Amino acid sequence: MTVMQSVLSFDGEDDYVSIPPHPALDLTDDYTLEAWICPIALGGRIMDKGINGQAVGFTFDTYGGLRLINTGIIIDSASVQVNQWQHVAATFKVEKKGAKLFVNGKIVRELKPKKAGTKTDLPVHLGSVANSPDGFFKGKMAEVRLWSRVRTPEEIRSHLHSRLKGNEPGLVGYFPCNEGSGNIVSDKSPTQNNGSVNGATWEQAELPIAPSTESATGLEDYGYWYRWKQSLPASAGTQKNFRRGRIWC
């Protein structure tokens, strides 16, 4: 199911969003980055808190495919497609196969990082390098999420097609990028660290993301309930399946 909604469009020349420096965004180990992207061309930054050419902060981009840089690099060259929407994610933790790249909830690359990242005092930029006018993203972006913990593949997949509430544990930056007008992207996480839009424009796009359950009419919750019910074995019986309270809450 796709729903027409507002997204941010970047021209690949000088557009970006700047999210001010904040201690909650000093992600060096045990973190997750997520976004929905529709790149017109590969090469641009998705989100970046690094210094161009140095292995500090973090860089999550489409250079050569899908790539995460902190003190090391993990890259997958084959999975990101141009001119279509896809959900991309990176998780990082210094342990066995602790760095993972995901496209549409599927792990496309993983490796063991040698060491954790180091922080910078830079803002987080969406759509460009954080410290210089470079690496501009060409395409559309929405539903940007930053977490101070590693989300499991199951967690990533389970919230891939729905907006978050904003109070999920470990959520340190949440930018749905669906304002539709103005020069601010609101941070719906407890960090409340809004970003400023520099040149990027608002567009309408069909995205496979259900509206937030906060504004649910009941139908969205029914969808979740129905899928949950379908996933139960028949032996669970009808009584356990019936959770009417959730349908209309």
* Residues engaged in binding Ca ion (CB under 5 A): 11, 14-15, 199
* Among 151, 201, 210, CA closest to 177: 201
Distance of closest approach, residue 17 Cβ to Ca ion, in angstroms: 12
Which of residues 167 and 201 has its CB atom nearest to Ca ion in the complex? 201
Distance of closest approach, residue 14 Cβ to Ca ion, in angstroms: 5
Distance of closest approach, residue 128 Cβ to Ca ion, in angstroms: 11
Q: Tally the residues of the chain.
A: 249
Which of residues 132 and 192 has its CB atom nearest to Ca ion in the complex? 132
- The residue number whose beta carbon is nearest to Ca ion equals 199
Which of residues 9 and 189 has its CB atom nearest to Ca ion in the complex? 9
Which of residues 138 and 151 has its CB atom nearest to Ca ion in the complex? 138
Distance of closest approach, residue 29 Cβ to Ca ion, in angstroms: 35
Distance of closest approach, residue 21 Cβ to Ca ion, in angstroms: 24
Which of residues 39 and 117 has its CB atom nearest to Ca ion in the complex? 39
